[in-house]
Amino acid sequence: MSSALKEIDRAELVNLERLAHLLKGLSPAELETLEFLLQPELATELKQRRRRAAAELKEGKTLYKAELFVD
Protein backbone atom coordinates (compact mmCIF):
# COMPACT_ATOMS: atom_id res chain seq x y z
CA MET A 1 0.00 0.00 0.00
CA SER A 2 1.36 3.43 -0.87
CA SER A 3 2.36 5.86 1.86
CA ALA A 4 -0.39 8.25 0.75
CA LEU A 5 -3.03 5.61 1.40
CA LYS A 6 -1.56 4.83 4.81
CA GLU A 7 -1.89 8.48 5.82
CA ILE A 8 -5.62 8.82 5.16
CA ASP A 9 -8.11 7.48 7.63
CA ARG A 10 -10.40 4.53 6.95
CA ALA A 11 -13.48 6.67 6.28
CA GLU A 12 -11.64 8.64 3.61
CA LEU A 13 -10.40 5.42 2.04
CA VAL A 14 -13.95 4.03 1.88
CA ASN A 15 -15.11 7.24 0.21
CA LEU A 16 -12.29 7.04 -2.34
CA GLU A 17 -13.08 3.40 -3.07
CA ARG A 18 -16.73 4.30 -3.59
CA LEU A 19 -15.75 7.16 -5.88
CA ALA A 20 -13.51 4.83 -7.89
CA HIS A 21 -16.37 2.34 -8.22
CA LEU A 22 -18.73 5.08 -9.41
CA LEU A 23 -16.21 6.42 -11.92
CA LYS A 24 -15.69 2.96 -13.40
CA GLY A 25 -19.44 2.71 -14.02
CA LEU A 26 -19.77 5.95 -15.98
CA SER A 27 -20.83 5.79 -19.62
CA PRO A 28 -18.66 7.46 -22.28
CA ALA A 29 -21.07 10.41 -22.38
CA GLU A 30 -20.95 10.76 -18.61
CA LEU A 31 -17.15 10.65 -18.66
CA GLU A 32 -17.10 13.39 -21.27
CA THR A 33 -19.44 15.51 -19.17
CA LEU A 34 -17.21 14.95 -16.15
CA GLU A 35 -14.20 16.10 -18.17
CA PHE A 36 -15.97 19.35 -19.04
CA LEU A 37 -16.94 19.88 -15.41
CA LEU A 38 -13.38 19.30 -14.20
CA GLN A 39 -11.74 21.27 -17.02
CA PRO A 40 -13.91 24.25 -18.03
CA GLU A 41 -11.29 25.34 -20.57
CA LEU A 42 -12.33 22.34 -22.69
CA ALA A 43 -15.85 23.77 -23.04
CA THR A 44 -14.35 27.11 -24.11
CA GLU A 45 -12.19 25.38 -26.72
CA LEU A 46 -15.16 23.41 -28.05
CA LYS A 47 -17.22 26.61 -28.41
CA GLN A 48 -14.36 28.23 -30.33
CA ARG A 49 -14.09 25.22 -32.64
CA ARG A 50 -17.82 25.30 -33.31
CA ARG A 51 -17.69 29.00 -34.18
CA ARG A 52 -14.74 28.41 -36.51
CA ALA A 53 -16.49 25.47 -38.16
CA ALA A 54 -19.69 27.49 -38.65
CA ALA A 55 -17.70 30.30 -40.27
CA GLU A 56 -15.86 27.87 -42.54
CA LEU A 57 -19.13 26.26 -43.54
CA LYS A 58 -20.58 29.63 -44.53
CA GLU A 59 -17.44 30.40 -46.53
CA GLY A 60 -17.63 27.04 -48.32
CA LYS A 61 -14.29 25.90 -46.89
CA THR A 62 -15.57 22.61 -45.51
CA LEU A 63 -15.74 19.21 -47.13
CA TYR A 64 -19.00 17.34 -47.23
CA LYS A 65 -19.27 13.66 -46.34
CA ALA A 66 -19.46 12.66 -50.01
CA GLU A 67 -16.23 14.55 -50.72
CA LEU A 68 -14.38 12.96 -47.83
CA PHE A 69 -14.98 9.40 -48.98
CA VAL A 70 -14.43 9.72 -52.73
CA ASP A 71 -12.49 6.80 -54.17
Give, for all 71 residues of the chain, the pLDDT tens digit: 566 666 777 778 788 889 999 999 999 999 999 998 999 898 899 899 889 888 988 888 887 777 777 66
Q: How many domains is the chain built from?
A: 1
Q: Determine the structural domain holding residue 13 and report its residue range.
A: 3-68
Answer left, alpha or beta for residue 15, where phi above 0 means left and psi between -120 and 50 means alpha: alpha
- pTM, 2 dp: 0.51
